[in-house]
Structure 1
Amino acid sequence: MKLSQITSITSGINERRNPQGSIYYLSASDFIAPHTLDPLLEPSIMPSPKLEKHFLNKGDVIILSKGHHGFIAHSYQAIKEPAVASSIFMVLRDINPKVLPEYIAWYINLKATQKELINFSRGSALPAINKRILSDLKIQIPDLETQRKIVRLDSLKKAETKIINKLDQLKTIELEIVLKNKIQ
């Protein structure tokens, strides 16, 4: 099934930042992990009536549309709101209720899907995807229960990786302390 058959696709917006702003303006660097916004992120754009239609809703999926490191998708969890996506993103909203936003993000982030998007991207200096490329992207949609299991397993795998990395850091620190004590 094509992505355009299960969701509407829009572009992020281009706004000027302002330290007195009260609206979060999400850029690629604001995500410290998939679906996880930097907790220190501050609002940075001023409110205006034209922005309201661009406010992100919980369950929207935002996809990086430019860059050399792939076209990473994030499921917006509404931790920081109101928020809008910057123009570096494409936004999937009004997602069919039979499809989990987290599943769409997982599917888009698969290496095979990323390879497909890279192959269809435009531009040599800075690869980019557009609405048409995303609209035509074929996505396999299993039943909701299977989607939930996939999302849960993916979440557990990411948690495991985080724990393993932390354990490795602690072992490195421990080894450095032991070795330093040996030479003193």
Structure 2
Amino acid sequence: MKLEKIAKINTGLLTTRKKAKSKNLSKGIYKLLTVNAIDNYGNINLDKLDDFYSNEKISNQYLTKKGKIYIRMNEPYTSIYIDEENEGILFPAYFVEIELRNINFLPEYIDWYLNSDKNKRNYLKAQSGTLIPSINQKIIREIEIPEKTLEEQEKILNVYKLFKKQMELLDNLKIKEEQKFKAITDKLIEG
């Protein structure tokens, strides 16, 4: 089933029109969703969000909301599912918001599918632009979502959550091993 049949899809804020000329003239400060704040698995690193100084109060329609999905329109086209920890982040125009309207689909399942290698290969085939390759909203709207029962979706999500947890543990292990190696190297250099 096409994504547009089960979800409402909205574009993010064109931030250039709302950016304050200086911090002193700002009418509000918002955390801004950026490319660097999202890992390959759709996790948001809150420490990597940018501060956005706005020339006016931003409408709530441009702030992330629990239960919705946001997808980058440029490579690597990562989607993110928003939980209560990640609400209220300003999302710019190079993201689209996906709000499910069909109770037969779990938003986390849609997020999983949008992040799947199979789906990302389709993005690569459909992308345009050479300097900054991107996809458009039409591509997102026409994504074919595999229809699964809610029970099947839950099973997929359990495996996906386990995979994400394993990747997080491996990433943390890698960081610790790099720190250990640097400490050993420093000791060897110092004698």
* Residue deviations 1:57-116 (CA, integer Å, cap 9, x gap): 2111111002xx321111122424433310111111144222121211111111111011
Can you give the 5+ residue segments of structure 1 that lack an aligned partner in the other structure?
none
Counting aligned pairs with the same residue, the percent is 21
2:104 is the counterpart of 1:104 = no
Taking a change above 3 Å as real, the CA distance of residues 149 and 39 of structure 1, as seen in their structure-2 partners, is: farther
| Offset of residue 162 of structure 1 | 2.2
When normalised by structure 1's length, the TM-score is 0.81
The Cα RMSD (Å) is 2.8
Quick one: distance in 2 between partners of 1:172 and 1:53? 42
Q: Does 1:158 align with 2:164?
A: yes
Cα distance, 1:43 vs structure 2 = 5.2
- The amino acid of 2:92's aligned partner reads S
Aligned residues: 181
Distance 2:183 2:51 in 1: 41
C-alpha distance in 2, partners of 1:40/1:169?
17
2:80 alignment partner in structure 1: 74
Partners of 1:169 and 1:110 lie apart in 2 by 26
Q: Which runs of 5+ in 2 are unaligned?
A: none
State the SS of the aligned residue for 1:85: coil
Q: Is the 8 A contact 1:59 1:75 kept in 2?
A: yes
Pick from 51, 62, 65 the counterpart of residue 57 of structure 1.
Answer: 65
The answer to whether the Cα contact below 8 Å between 1:8 and 1:94 also exists between their aligned partners in 2 is: yes
Residue 27 of structure 1 aligns with which residue?
A: 34
**Does the C-alpha gap of structure 1 residues 82 and 166 become closer, same or farther in structure 2, counting only changes over 3 Å?**
closer
- For 1:126, the equivalent position in structure 2 comes to 132
Instruction: For residue 139 of structure 2, give the secondary structure of its aligned residue in structure 1.
Output: helix
The answer as to whether partners of 1:12 and 1:88 remain within 8 angstroms in 2 is: yes
Taking structure 1 as reference, are residues 143 and 80 closer, same or farther at Cα in structure 2, changes over 3 Å only? same
Deviates more, 1:76-85 or 1:4-13: 76-85
